[in-house]
Amino acid sequence: MSFELKNLLKYDNIVIQCHDNPDADALASGYALYTYFNTNGKKVRFVYGGRFQVKKSNLVLMIESLEIPIEYVKELDRPELLITVDCQYGESNVTCFDAENVAVIDHHQVSGNLPELADVRSGYGACSTIVWSLMCDEGIDVTSNDLLTTALYYGLYTDTNSFTELHHPVDKDLRDIKNVKMSLITLFRNSNLSMEELKIAGNALKKAIMVDEHRYALVEAEPCDPNILGIISDMLLEVESVETCLVYSVLEFGVKISVRSCVATVQANELAGFIAEGLGGGGGHLIKAGGFLKKDLIEKSGIVYTAEAVREMLVGRMGQYFCSTDILYAGEHTEDVDCLKEYIKKRVNVGYVRSTDLAKAGTKIVVRTLEGDVDIATDEDTYIIIGVKGEIYPSKKEKFERGYEYSDEEYVFTGEYPPAVLESETGDRIELLPLAKSCIANGGTTIYARELTSRTKVFTSWDTEKYYLGKPGDFLATRKDDLHDIYVIAREIFFMTYGEV
């Protein structure tokens, strides 16, 4: 059975608990759950424990301005249902209170045994996103409550380092929510830096390591609020000789990283993912990103968890990133097709949407997918193809009709996250799937392809500003009828959709 908030309405005495020393995401998530159960007539409390009460200025302002009914408690009468939010019951960062039943809603990695009532989505940037999604699933218009909307927005904002670490599309959907009191967000944001934290930033910048060959900087900061790492990163990128930077802090339980880039050949989210691969998680968007490397995973990889060893590891990963990646520009690159095998597209059922069905011709739109955002300008000649895993391919009408047959069958989406469209100027969201129609690859598309043996960034003919990353094992494809139409196909999708001629 999937986790649904309405299934918890059978309990009457409910306590929502966030972790000790709560942050903005924990406060927002718990506040949203409190609002849901209170609206449904339940006896509900929102609490936290631990040795310290909330004193950080931005959090005090948040609680007061948004009227968050949170209580600091040292003991708790045994409730019928205890919901831990932004943490997991039994973890060391949350005071253990007894309860008849326990539920968990969290976005961190699973650290132990979960109760039957649990919704943990480790790929999400904030717990606020999960709770917002659960409320949307109940048909609740969260935007009707501007205080709650503002809380959830700020919870996501802080837990993703000012939106620089957004990677899941549902996080992006919450970021784009309407009816946020931006004046309060500005107030909270500008109450976030103390004089002590300002000194931390200054001391870190003094120790910057500059690598002139690849024009990047690497800086270690002492333990601090993650937003401080972002501030240091932004300062570094102002330096004329720095195009990319990595700022990090070694904490008791892991390493927090912040990444910035101002060049098209390095996407900050992709670099953060590379740094964190096998050690934790990283993501964000093109110019700002971040991540977290878990201490236990670092130690399992054979690295001693000391500041010196972590520095050596990060220097090594940065060097590997810049020295082991190929960059191809489809408009300029020519593959030696005489040495490549030919493949033909299988007869697979996929979907398509005419771009002008989404918005009038000339409108700039962003197609949001699980793999990232794709920028498109609508016109009568541009189609959007939805692949077998939900991947998006822009195509001109002529090429589309050469490779696909229109079908009267109902289109059935088989991916994980339904792609959506945002109008770039207004931010209005348009659901793509209700407009999608079915089509069948007719076997008329022939490509040359080779398996990649190194990381490869491809700037395609349809998007010269952003690259598509291919990893070893993926395939680099070149259309036989257009040798400059070069793109990456993920290994799994390649074998599902193409067969050797």
List own/partner pairs for 392-396 with CB under 8 A and 24 or more apart. 392/367, 392/419, 394/355, 394/462
Classify 413 as helix, strand or coil. Answer: coil
Question: Would you state the pLDDT for residue 1?
Answer: 47
- What count of other Cβ atoms lies within 10 Å of the Cβ of residue 39? 11
Domains and CATH numbers, the chain: 5-189 (3.90.1640.10), 195-323 (3.10.310.30), 337-500 (no CATH)
Question: Would you state the pLDDT for residue 436?
Answer: 94
Question: Would you state the pLDDT for residue 284?
Answer: 67
Question: Tokens 């972790």 appear where?
Answer: 19
Question: Tokens 């589309």 appear where?
Answer: 400
Q: What is the DSSP secondary structure assignment for residue 105, as one 8-state letter?
A: E
Helices and strands of the chain, counted as H and E runs? 14, 29
**Residues near 140 by beta carbon (within 8 Å), at least 6 away in sequence:** 36
* 402: its two tokens: 């050469």
Q: What is the DSSP secondary structure assignment for residue 2, as one 8-state letter?
A: -
CA distances from residue 402 to 4, 262, 417 in whole angstroms, order as listed: 45, 39, 28
pLDDT (tens place) for every residue of the chain, 501 residues total: 479 999 999 999 999 999 988 889 999 999 999 999 999 999 999 999 987 788 888 899 999 999 999 999 999 999 999 999 999 898 877 899 999 999 999 988 676 678 999 998 877 889 999 999 999 999 999 999 999 999 999 999 998 878 877 878 899 999 999 999 999 999 998 886 678 888 888 999 998 999 999 999 999 999 887 768 888 998 898 898 999 999 999 988 899 999 999 999 999 889 998 999 999 887 766 787 888 898 999 999 999 999 999 999 999 999 999 998 999 999 899 999 999 999 998 888 899 999 999 988 998 888 887 767 778 889 999 999 998 888 888 889 998 998 899 999 999 998 777 888 877 666 677 888 999 999 998 877 789 999 999 999 999 887 788 888 999 999 999 999 889 999 999 999 899 889 988
Question: Are 486 and 470 in contact, with CB atoms under 8 Å apart?
Answer: no
Closest CA to 68 of 59, 76, 80: 59
Beta-carbon-side half-sphere exposure of residue 12 (alpha carbons within 13 Å): 0
Question: Are 179 and 297 in contact, with CB atoms under 8 Å apart?
Answer: no
Question: Are 344 and 248 in contact, with CB atoms under 8 Å apart?
Answer: no
Question: Would you state the pLDDT for residue 161?
Answer: 77
Three-state secondary structure along 279-312?
Answer: CEEEEECCCEEEEEEEHHHHHHCCCCCCHHHHHH
Question: Would you state the pLDDT for residue 111?
Answer: 63
Give the separation between CA 290 and CA 283, rounded to whole angstroms: 6
Closest CA to 424 of 176, 178, 170: 176
